[in-house]
Amino acid sequence: MTNHLFDTFRNRMPAPGRLLMETDDGHSISYGDMLARSAQLAHALLQMGVQPGDRVAVQVEKSPEAVLLYLACVRAGAVFLPLNTAYTLAELAYFLGDAKPRLVVCDPARATEIEALAQTTGAATATLGSSGQGSLMEQASRLPSDFHDVARGPDDLCAILYTSGTTGRSKGAMLSHENLASNARVLADCWRFTADDVLIHALPVFHTHGLFVATNVALIAGARMLFERKFDPARLVSLLPRATVLMGVPTFYVRLLQQDGLNEQAASSMRLFISGSAPLLAETHKAWRERTGHAILERYGMTETNMNTSNPYDGERRAGTVGFPLPGVSLRVTDPETGDQVPQGGIGMIEVKGPNVFAGYWRMPEKTKAEFRKDGFFITGDLGLIDADFYVHIVGRGKDLIISGGYNVYPKEIESEIDALDGVAESAVIGIAHPDFGEGVTAVVVRKPGSAISAADIALAIAERLAKYKHPKQVIFVDDLPRNTMGKVQKNVLRDAYKGIYDKAG
């Protein structure tokens, strides 16, 4: 047996001297370097006691080494578990307790607190940094640069990515080698990636978009990445003449449009702009076309399913739609109550099935069962329709979810933290249209009688508990929350009442 995902990359690998990554601080990593250094890291993982099937939790700033560590985990047969660098210690405690990793890899700056936490779950810790005593890279540098990849089949677990749940606890989406390999193959084909492509990579590498869509597609094509640690719109415009493809969330495109230097000339070497993770406004699509001459290609996916649909490479890229199901992906729109398919053009729940769809939630068989139909279709929680020309439109969400700058925020998680504060009677967290982030997290709070709790008090209290991007951009105090006859808070009424509050925001 072979290592299914890594062989998928290896079999198409270009000459070892070809570049895989060029970083913003002037370093470059060739395909040959990647093979050697991921091999050394795989040896280091083994030395740390990591065995096939063990989870390796990784919370590190974006760096080429973070990508090499991902590949080392794949090669060592471990299960890669990336964590957003914004997560607080309180959030990490849950993930480590649930996933029970063998090893936790973190940045040196957080080593002390994370080591203490990891010990409570029985995990070893290591830092990644490119140098320094005790760092995994330093340990790896002394180890052999070839490695006999651990055998893993298509259905073996390759990664766990946590995605918050509508009802509270985060769920670990289990992704197999074939989930990732099949999606990389299909996307590289549909988007016509070749070894001549140069992809601007400015996304974080701890979520599906930056890790699997961007990195895996570049790897499978033997392409090169301009690997940016942060999204900096001015710098990005300056990189365009050296690149051929950009992948980003809608906020990238909104911010790039504010750059004077963005024009047809700057984008003349580019062949493709791709957007996903959140809805791209038709007005952004139009403005982009006017400024650069390019129609942004919008696609739709999620952590559990990888990518499901894409607008066509050839053919009309229709603003406000997410295109057609990818080859191998079946997509249908159903009545959320009955599960019956609705007639073409009707709005309903989007369900998908295919080699891209995950194996289930980590140690949550009941939740997994509840989100699959008997015939194997996964219930996405997204509401949509298929139009007369078969383009898929996402028209809303059946799940109570806010997407801010491409990050998912589940209101329930924030409401629970706010409701637990002295002085708060109850709260409702909603998403309100935001010109930069798409939606702005907004808390509507009812104080307890006599309480004077302020927005600043709330911000201070949740700072240690929740990642920064989840924090409400505004807190609004009210006497009561609107409720329907069943007693359920009417979030649509609140969204209506406060729409426009961010219109003047930058």
Please give the residue ranges that form the binding site for ligand AMP (CB under 6 A): 163, 208, 276-279, 298, 300-303, 322, 380, 382, 394, 397, 403, 408
Out of ligand AMP, ligand MLC, none, which partner does residue 210 contact, by CB within 5 to 8 A per kind? ligand MLC
**Cross-strand partners of 483:** 489
Out of ligand AMP, ligand MLC, none, which partner does residue 41 contact, by CB within 5 to 8 A per kind? none
Beta strands 324-325; 245-248: pairing state: unpaired
Distances (CA, A) of 346 to 116, 318, 350, 381, 446: 53, 19, 11, 16, 38
Distance of alpha carbon 311 from alpha carbon 422, whole angstroms: 49
472 binds ligand MLC (CB under 6 A): no
Residues 6+ apart with CB under 8 A from 471: 441, 459, 462, 463
Out of ligand AMP, ligand MLC, none, which partner does residue 249 contact, by CB within 5 to 8 A per kind? ligand MLC
Q: Which is nearer to ligand AMP, 125 or 306 (CB)?
A: 306
- In one-letter notation, the amino acid at residue 74 is V
Q: Which is nearer to ligand AMP, 469 or 498 (CB)?
A: 469
Distance of alpha carbon 102 from alpha carbon 55, whole angstroms: 6
Out of ligand AMP, ligand MLC, none, which partner does residue 159 contact, by CB within 5 to 8 A per kind? none
Distance of alpha carbon 59 from alpha carbon 92, whole angstroms: 9
Quickly list DSSP for 224-255.
EEEE-SS--HHHHHHHGGG-SEEEE-HHHHHH
Closest CB to ligand MLC: residue number: 405
Q: Which is nearer to ligand AMP, 76 or 158 (CB)?
A: 158
Site track 283-312 with ligand MLC (rule: CB under 6 A), x = hit: ------------------xxx---------
We find the least distance from the C-beta atom of residue 372 to ligand MLC, in angstroms, to be 19
Out of ligand MLC, ligand AMP, none, which partner does residue 397 contact, by CB within 5 to 8 A per kind? ligand AMP
Per-residue burial over 418-446, b = 16 or more CB atoms within 10 Å of its CB, e = otherwise = beebebbeebbbbbbbbebbbbbbbbbbb
208 binds ligand MLC (CB under 6 A): yes
Out of ligand MLC, ligand AMP, none, which partner does residue 382 contact, by CB within 5 to 8 A per kind? ligand AMP
Distance of alpha carbon 184 from alpha carbon 174, whole angstroms: 17
Out of ligand AMP, ligand MLC, none, which partner does residue 176 contact, by CB within 5 to 8 A per kind? none
- Candidates 7-15, 186-194, 202-210, 319-327: pick the segment binding ligand MLC (CB under 6 A): 202-210
Q: Out of 404, 415, 427, 429, which residue is the one contacting ligand MLC (CB under 6 A)?
A: 404
Distance of alpha carbon 465 from alpha carbon 442, whole angstroms: 17
We find the least distance from the C-beta atom of residue 303 to ligand AMP, in angstroms, to be 4
125 binds ligand MLC (CB under 6 A): no
We find the least distance from the C-beta atom of residue 46 to ligand AMP, in angstroms, to be 31
- In one-letter notation, the amino acid at residue 142 is R
Q: Out of 59, 125, 164, 277, which residue is the one contacting ligand MLC (CB under 6 A)?
A: 277
Sheet of 157-165: strand order equals 124-127, 103-106, 55-59, 79-82, 157-165, 168-176, 360-361
Could you give the 3-state DSSP secondary structure of residue 357?
Answer: coil
Could you give the 3-state DSSP secondary structure of residue 298?
Answer: strand
Site track 419-458 with ligand MLC (rule: CB under 6 A), x = hit: ------------------x---------------------
**Cross-strand partners of 397:** 382
**CB contact at 8 A, 319 and 285:** yes
Among the listed residues 428, 399, 424, 404, the one whose alpha carbon sits nearest the alpha carbon of residue 414: 428
Q: Out of 407, 432, 461, 481, which residue is the one contacting ligand MLC (CB under 6 A)?
A: 407
Q: Which is nearer to ligand AMP, 276 or 472 (CB)?
A: 276
Out of ligand MLC, ligand AMP, none, which partner does residue 204 contact, by CB within 5 to 8 A per kind? ligand MLC
Tokens 């140069």 locate to: 198
Out of ligand AMP, ligand MLC, none, which partner does residue 368 contact, by CB within 5 to 8 A per kind? none
Residues at the contact surface with ligand MLC, assessed by CB under 6 A: 203-204, 207-210, 231, 249, 251, 276-277, 301-303, 404-407, 437, 468-469
